[in-house]
Structure 1
Amino acid sequence: MGLIYALGAYLSWGLVVPIHFKLLDSVPAGTVLAHRIVWSSLFVGALLVALRRSLRSPFPLRPRHGLLAASAGLIAVNWLLYLWAVNAGRMLDASLGYFINPLVSVALGAVVLGERLRPVQGAAVGLAALAVIVAVVTAGSLPLVSLALATSFALYGLVRKVVGIDPMIGFCAETLILLPFALFHLAFTSAPAVEGDTLRLSLLLLTGVTTALPLIWFAAAAQRLTLATLGLMQYLAPSCLLILSVLVYGERAEPQRWLLFALIWLALAIYAADALRAARGPRPVP
């Protein structure tokens, strides 16, 4: 089930979410983020009621609640950067960020959680890292937006893995932590985003669904898979985003981006082949 949850999350982030938010590019990123938080909290709250799940009182406060506050802050930063990149026509920068992110996840898994890679897996990760380094060097400048996206989401994945809370309840807690800030922004610091536009209102309402479901699936996958596997599977999302930005939205991809794409997928093929071989295990001796 971990692989299914991960596929659902990454394909949603690579195809459904960017198309959805591109349709909202006339709305400021901060306003979309605030709506995203409000409608996500309502959507996940309704899911909990429908499934007859309940939130426990957070008092007395425990270290777990501090970790959830940290994960809420990290995902809010990541959302805001992503929305800005999509609305500013910089999907390729977002794509590069999510290409870099799995490498950060693998590194955090090794350093913080002590996860070990088999030699072939290590070679696959090294090839992916080399591809990203080549892409960054040939670009001629440090991609700050891409690095910020990569780091914030990798840290979010680490915190959600460490906190060990039910994915849906954890996401509900995160949105409730962010909800007062979102409501304050909508009430006092942003201009009305709808103004009688039914289509725009519908798109803003749907941000609750396209935000909550992939993140719940991602948290469920994070509890079932190693960070190394989760991180390398994440190349599905930026690969879809790269193709979408070029073929649908007409952004220009330099040759080094296509080299990056080819090397990343070669690394994925190596990693997947090794995982399948390990899953089959040694043949029994007759």
Structure 2
Amino acid sequence: MQPDKNTSPGVILNIIASIFFALMFAYTSQLSTLNGEEIFGWRMLLTFPCLTAFIASRGYWPQVLTIYRRLYIERYFIIIRLVSSLLLSFQLWIFVWAPGNDYGLAVSLGYFILPITMVIIGRLAFRDRMSHPQQLACVFAVFGILSQLVFSQTLAWPTLAVCLGYPGYFWLRRKTDTNNIGGLWFDMALALPLGLFFIMQGGQVLSGLDIDLHLLWSVLGLGLISALALTFQALSAPHLNLSLFGLLTYVEPVLLMLVALILGETISATEWPTYIAIWLSVMVLMAEGVCGLKRQRAAREIVSPD
């Protein structure tokens, strides 16, 4: 009998990771003297070594080496990797830019819609089968989006950037068979020079030979939070199957929304129908996931009774 992967330590570790991501969301709003590009640069510079250390310690270098060899074998593969890196960089940038520019709620809404757009992309691009609950969730989501369009004539561009940009990024990774941590490492490695450029251009922390120690400690705090979020998320993965891991991704947008509200943003009366519809959509997907987990547990108990 294989051990049950859905253990409470895995759930706790994943929730702690979501809390750290939300904390980073709030933390960036306090770095008011830095622009979004420089914050992005520091996040890249301080997080990349942690990702590298994790890959080295857990034996994932073969994934990195496989992608490296493909750069020499496959035509245009380097161009595809650069596009993938830019897509990821844009998402990482908007995450740290939005809270300090009154777009925290817009980004959190994008993360709420993201699972639905992932389902739709999977259906259209890869012919993934949509279950009845997923179809119902899509109906709720479409209603919410149409409601927003009726009242506001538009969706905030950060919402669209998240809910459409991330599925495009994951579609490209899946299409090119790089949807693993090695692919993530390459995307971040290729984006690192851009991050360094933004740091030098901003020059708030490092200005010639002068170093603003207060800001330096602030960005080091950002790096610590980012590294802890990534570490706790990675540590939770071995304890969770894909279904439960997917369910727990809904914790983060809830926390991001709460952070945005605490920072002073508000949900207007005309936006409530959109939020309610999206929350209903998420609840349907969560209910489907919970039922799936119960069926899996029941099946294991039948096959391997105590």
Q: TM-score range by the shorter chain?
A: 0.7 to 0.9
Equivalent pair of 1:100/1:147 in contact (CA under 8 Å): no
Does the C-alpha gap of structure 1 residues 66 and 17 become closer, same or farther in structure 2, counting only changes over 3 Å?
same
Distance 1:53 1:265, change over 3 A: closer
Count residues in correspondence. Answer: 276
Match of 2:27 in 1: 20
- Residue matched to 2:140: 127
Could you tell me whether the CA contact under 8 Å between 1:95 and 1:242 is conserved in 2? yes
How far apart are residue 180 of structure 1 and its match? 2.0
1:269 aligns with 2:283: yes
State which structure, 1 or 2, has the greater radius of gyration over its C-alpha atoms. Answer: 2
Change (3 A) 1:84 1:72: same
Distance 2:168 2:14 in 1: 17
C-alpha contact (below 8 Å) 1:171/1:215 kept by paired residues = no
- Alpha-carbon contact 1:44-1:168 (below 8 Å) kept: no
CA distance in 1, matches of 2:177, 2:17: 19
Which blocks of at least 5 consecutive residues in structure 2 are unaligned?
A: none
Q: Which residue of 1 aligns with 2:259?
A: 244
Q: Using a 3 Å threshold, how does the CA distance of structure 1 residues 243 and 137 change in structure 2: closer, same or farther?
A: farther
Structure 1 residue 37 and structure 2 residue 40: aligned? no
- Work out which of the residue numbers 197, 204, 207 in structure 2 matches 1:192: 204
How many Å separate the matches in 2 of 1:240 and 1:249? 12
2:95 maps to which residue? 82
Q: Deviation at 1:73?
A: 0.9
Q: Quick check: 2:151–2:270 contact (8 Å CA) kept in 1?
A: yes
Q: Indicate the larger mover: 24-33 or 158-167.
A: 158-167
Structure-2 separation of matches of 1:275 and 1:87: 34
Show the 5 A alignment for 1:135-174: 135-165=148-178, 167-174=180-187
Task: Give the counterpart of 2:55 among 39, 48, 51.
Answer: 48
User: Residue by residue, what CA displacement relative to the aligned partner does 1:207-259 show, whole Å, maximum 9, x if unpaired?
Assistant: 445446656849x97xx748xx94x865443332222222x212121024333
Q: Secondary structure at the match of 1:117?
A: coil
1:35/1:182 contact within 8 Å kept: yes
| Matched-pair contact (CA < 8 Å) for 1:135–1:256 | yes
The CA distance in 2 between the partners of 1:178 and 1:148, in whole Å, is 18
Gaps of 5+ in 1: none
Contact kept in structure 2, 1:98 and 1:234, CA below 8 Å: no
Residues 171, 199 of structure 1: alpha-carbon distance in 2 compared, 3 angstrom cutoff: farther
Of residues 154, 175, 178, the one that matches 2:191 is: 178
Query: Given the two structures, how large is their TM-score scaled by the length of structure 1?
Result: 0.78
Q: Does 1:102 align with 2:115?
A: yes
Q: Aligned partners of 2:91, 2:198: CA distance in 1, in Å?
A: 18
What does residue 204 of structure 1 align with? 219
Residue 16 of structure 1 aligns with an amino acid whose one-letter code is L
Alpha carbons of structure 1 residues 252 and 274: separation in structure 2 relative to 1, 3 Å: closer
1:122-168 CA distance string (max 9 Å, x none): 11221122123213322243422321232212212323344444743
Contact 2:105 2:256 in 1 (8 A): yes
RMSD over equivalenced CA pairs, Å:
3.6
Residue identity over aligned pairs, in percent, reads 20
Per-residue CA deviations over 1:27-67 (Å, capped at 9, x if unaligned) read 01111111122222222223334446534272424376554
Match of 1:260? Answer: 274
Q: Give the structure-2-normalised TM-score.
A: 0.73
Q: Give the C-alpha shift of residue 111 in structure 1.
A: 0.7
